[in-house]
Amino acid sequence: MTPPLALAPAMAAALARWLEVEAGTRDRADHTIIAYRADLLAFLAFLGGHHGQPATPKSLAGLRQTDMRAFAAAERARGLGARSLARRQSAVRSFLRWISDREGHDLSAALSTRSPKYTRSLPRPLTPDQARDTLDMIAVGHDTPWVAARDLAVMTLLWGCGLRISEALNLNGEDWPFRDSLTITGKGGRQRQVPVLPVARQAMADYLRQCPWQPAPGQPLFRGVRGGRLLPGIIEGAMQKARAALGLPPTATPHALRHSFATHLLAAGGDLRTIQELLGHASLSTTQVYTGVDDAHLMAVYQAAHPRG
């Protein structure tokens, strides 16, 4: 296999500048910036091999639809799925729009290339009974009482407040005691207010009463057994044990509790805009996937109950 051509200095500088703009003005999360960089490096490496010389900001003026289609075909041949390819092409188009404005290129032909269609997989939430059973199992799932109380408190925040696991584990001493709502900093640095249910506040109080370390500003609320910040893998392991004990499917993960929060709210009559704000989604289209979950559930109930004779 021929090694990829080195990135031209001017292109490396342009790419770095674009990533700075995305991070600084569009509040992109760190992992998003890392993914964008990988997407663009793959694209620019392809162009270098395709044209036999490293791409430069000026050479991008010659991009055509055929180049974009060839890139897509090459990525699919490497085994990239439709969803990943669509995301990669979206990042490439964003970069090309930026470079066309900066360099004065007309890249309308290249930018008109469509991404592959894919079916977005629906979240797989737990039913309310499954969620309650899971929390009950978590509460007795460890020989050390404060650790069991800790794991239960984390899971209660995921289901009761719709937090991402990273958001729960990033809580610090200054966040306690919980008031009626929590200020959560989510993806891309976006902040949101999340109401705190009494059951979540009580679970936290029970945990902190038993925890060997008391809340302190700048220190994690959720501690590992050695006192450091609790790692997501520990909670995932606790969920795995509860899942096995209850006979739940592999999709019953900690993140499924966040899905359950959204789905149960929707089923209870919550509107999508409110759920979007509570989840911290930047786009309503991300939240709308839960309408598909609810419709699928209603159809399953209908098919099970509808008389066929």
Going along the chain, which residue ranges are E strands? 181-185, 191-195
Distance CA 245, CA 156 (A): 19
Q: Structurally, how many domains does the chain consist of?
A: 2
pLDDT tens-place string over residues 60-82 = 999 998 999 999 899 989 888 87
The answer to whether residues 138 and 127 touch, using CB atoms and an 8 Å cutoff, is no
DSSP conformation class of 283: S
Residue where a domain stops, chosen among 111, 142, 158: 111
Burial class (CB in 10 A: 0-12, 13-18, 19+), 179: exposed
pLDDT tens-place string over residues 154-192 = 999 988 888 888 899 999 999 999 988 888 887 777 788
Residue where a domain stops, chosen among 111, 138, 162: 111
- Is-catalytic flag, 264? no
- Is-catalytic flag, 255? yes
Catalytic residue among 187, 229, 241, 297: 187
Catalytic residue among 164, 192, 243, 259: 164
Residue 91 shares a structural domain with residue 217: no
Nearest to 242 by CA among 157, 158, 134: 134
Residue 196 shares a structural domain with residue 267: yes
Q: Please report whether residue 231 resides in a domain.
A: yes
Distance CA 232, CA 234 (A): 5
pLDDT at 1 over 60: no
Tokens representing residue 205 in the block: 């109080």
Residue 205 shares a structural domain with residue 89: no
Catalytic residue among 105, 150, 243, 290: 290
What's the Rg (C-alpha) of the chain?
24
Residue 72 shares a structural domain with residue 221: no
pLDDT tens-place string over residues 202-243 = 999 999 999 999 999 999 999 999 999 999 999 999 999 999
- Is-catalytic flag, 302? no
Catalytic residue among 192, 258, 259, 264: 258
Distance CA 113, CA 111 (A): 5
Residue 52 shares a structural domain with residue 172: no
Q: Residue 248: which domain range?
A: 128-304
- Is-catalytic flag, 105? no
pLDDT at 280 over 80: no
- Is-catalytic flag, 187? yes
Residue 63 shares a structural domain with residue 201: no
- Is-catalytic flag, 259? no
What sign does the dihedral 112-62-82-275 (CA atoms) show? negative
Whether the model pTM is above 0.75: no
Residue 152 shares a structural domain with residue 264: yes
Residue 91's domain is classified under what CATH number? 1.10.150
Task: Provide the pLDDT confidence category of residue 304 given band limits of 50, 70 and 90.
Answer: very low
